[in-house]
Amino acid sequence: MSNAILAVNSGSSSLKFALFAATRQSGEWSNEPLVSGKINGIGRKPMLSEKVNGKPVEISGPLKNIPLEARHGSLIALILERLNSHYSKFNLVAAGHRMVHGGSEFASPVQIDAEVRKKLENLIPLAPLHQPHNLAAIDAITASMPDLPQIACFDTGFHRDMPRLAQLFALPRKLSDDGVIRYGFHGLSYEYIASVMGETLGTVADGKVIVAHLGNGASMCAMLNRHCLSTSMGFTALDGLMMGRRSGSLDAGVVLHLIQQKGLTPDEVWHMLYRESGLLGVSGISNNMKILEESTNPHAREAIDLFCYRAMREIGAMTAILGGLDALVFTAGIGQNSARIRQQICSQLGWLGLQVDADANDRNLSVINAAISEVKICVIPTNEEAMIAAATCDLIAVRK
Ligand code: ADP
């Protein structure tokens, strides 16, 4: 029986899991999972898709027709049952979790005990869309496998050594001292991209690189020598780029106006900024980029234009911070799949030396810049689960 590590990535309405061999062959970690799955549409119409050794499999048993009321905790319990009965040749030795917020205390992966769990729970107000689901998954595994080591891997971790100026808000010093600073998120995705981008970029990967993680949640990270110099998300994952449902950066005066002049409660403002804004709010149609791309409605068009404008503006700001740009990397659902969005963002950056090769872009190739482009432009699929499993493997030292 071979040892395996379960990586769990619980998002607001999705749950991804992947089982990895708990070994490093010749010091190299395999980023290919043995089994991987994703449950989409939690709370609406949950559906599991699963792959074994990269090939889709037929779903049977209780996860074939998931009840509408199932949430992250109960789904994790079902996934554990399924892994045990269908893939019994694996001996689970640890579970690693994507934990969105590590606050100022947690930068590196940490084994979860009662005290750590409590501290993570205290961070819920800083990541209300994700942290509760991350914790529900931990609790479900504790309930069915109390002795299994569980490791929290932080989305904020990659950004913790950002320069101090990149972390500070221009607020009274006392607030910064209390931890009201820019943390940044999507760190597991950035760490993964940083670890593999040399395969596509060669030595350019060690230069000035901007990685654009464009999914339902969207952010960018400016890297120098594969370390974070700046990132677009802030104290919470509400800051920065326009997202599926989140506004991204906003004049704080708008929040005051909504509360003081419009009489909205803080909860109503929360709901507007996290759930009703972004692509959904501007289009009035959907938070889903694919649906907007297929729409002929002018509001869908304007939502896409604003998404690309904000991305282009962020690239300009990050290039200034980096003092130039060697490569732009696209990743996540929109970044990996939408040739139109990549083209539209880059088309406004010709002055910076970016030139897309239309054919390579349409074919979703990994290098999509034209030969004359002064900046390399790449598409690299992210793999947060591989990063979680590798960190978990290292922490519990189950290397063979
Ligand atoms: P999450 O942040 O939930 O992990 P993903 O990285 O899966 O999100 O990205 C989801 C987004 O990617 C959605 O807006 C979806 O419409 C978009 N997307 C996926 N495939 C395509 C495609 N072929 N064309 C345009 N957008 C796409």
Is the C-beta atom of 288 inside 6 A of ligand 1? yes
- Average pLDDT of the chain is 93
Q: Where are the domains of the chain?
A: 2-179, 203-379
For range 200-215, the mean pLDDT = 98
Nearest atom within ligand 1 for CA of residue 382: 6
**Could you tell me the distance, in angstroms and rounded to a whole number, from the CA of residue 244 to the centre of ligand 1?**
9
Which pLDDT does position 110 carry in this prediction? 96
Span of 9-13, 178-182, 240-244 with lowest mean pLDDT: 9-13
For range 173-187, the mean pLDDT = 95
What confidence tens digit (pLDDT) does each residue in 321-331 have? 999 999 999 99
Q: What is the DSSP letter of 204?
A: G
Is the C-beta atom of 362 inside 6 A of ligand 1? no
pLDDT above 90 (res 45): no
Which pLDDT does position 26 carry in this prediction? 52
Span of 16-30, 118-132, 305-319 with lowest mean pLDDT: 16-30
**Could you tell me the distance, in angstroms and rounded to a whole number, from the CA of residue 182 to the centre of ligand 1?**
26
Is the C-beta atom of 102 inside 6 A of ligand 1? no
Span of 55-59, 183-187, 315-319 with lowest mean pLDDT: 55-59
Is the C-beta atom of 334 inside 6 A of ligand 1? yes
Question: Which CATH superfamily hosts domain 2-179?
Answer: ATPase, nucleotide binding domain (3.30.420.40)
* CA–CA distance, 361 with 61 (Å, rounded to integer): 40
CB 213 within 8 A of CB 190: yes
- Residue 16 backbone phi and psi in degrees, to 5: -110, 145
Nearest atom within ligand 1 for CA of residue 16: 4
Under the banding of pLDDT at 50, 70 and 90, the label for residue 16 is very high
Which pLDDT does position 22 carry in this prediction? 85
Under the banding of pLDDT at 50, 70 and 90, the label for residue 399 is very low
Which pLDDT does position 400 carry in this prediction? 45
Catalytic residue positions? 155
Which pLDDT does position 319 carry in this prediction? 98
**To test ligand 1's pocket by mutation, which of 9, 280, 337 has the most ligand atoms within 8 angstroms of CB?**
337
Which pLDDT does position 219 carry in this prediction? 98
- Provide the residue type at 159 as one letter: H
**Could you tell me the distance, in angstroms and rounded to a whole number, from the CA of residue 290 to the centre of ligand 1?**
7
Closest protein CA for atom 2 of ligand 1: 216
For range 208-219, the mean pLDDT = 97
Tell which wins on pLDDT, 129 or 389.
Answer: 389
pLDDT above 60 (res 352): yes
**To test ligand 1's pocket by mutation, which of 8, 9, 192, 289 has the most ligand atoms within 8 angstroms of CB?**
289
Under the banding of pLDDT at 50, 70 and 90, the label for residue 397 is confident
Is the C-beta atom of 216 inside 6 A of ligand 1? yes
Sign of CA dihedral 205, 208, 212, 213: positive
pLDDT above 50 (res 280): yes
Question: Which CATH superfamily hosts domain 203-379?
Answer: ATPase, nucleotide binding domain (3.30.420.40)
Is the C-beta atom of 12 inside 6 A of ligand 1? no
Is the C-beta atom of 333 inside 6 A of ligand 1? yes
Alpha helices in the chain (DSSP H): 72-86, 114-122, 131-144, 164-167, 173-177, 187-201, 252-260, 266-275, 278-283, 289-294, 298-322, 332-337, 339-347, 358-362, 384-396
pLDDT above 90 (res 304): yes
What confidence tens digit (pLDDT) does each residue in 47-100 have? 899 998 889 988 887 888 888 888 888 899 888 888 888 777 788 999 999 999
Under the banding of pLDDT at 50, 70 and 90, the label for residue 240 is very high
2-179 and 203-379 agree in CATH topology = yes
Closest protein CA for atom 13 of ligand 1: 288
Which pLDDT does position 41 carry in this prediction? 86
Under the banding of pLDDT at 50, 70 and 90, the label for residue 260 is very high
pLDDT above 70 (res 18): yes
In the structure encoding, which two tokens stand for residue 208, read together?
């000035």
Q: What percent of the chain has pLDDT over 90?
A: 80
pTM over 0.85: yes
Q: What percent of the chain has pLDDT over 70?
A: 98
Work out the angle at residue 106's Cα, subtended by the Cα atoms of residues 34 and 383, and round it to the nearest 5 degrees.
25
Sign of CA dihedral 98, 100, 104, 105: negative
CB 243 within 8 A of CB 279: yes
pLDDT above 50 (res 263): yes
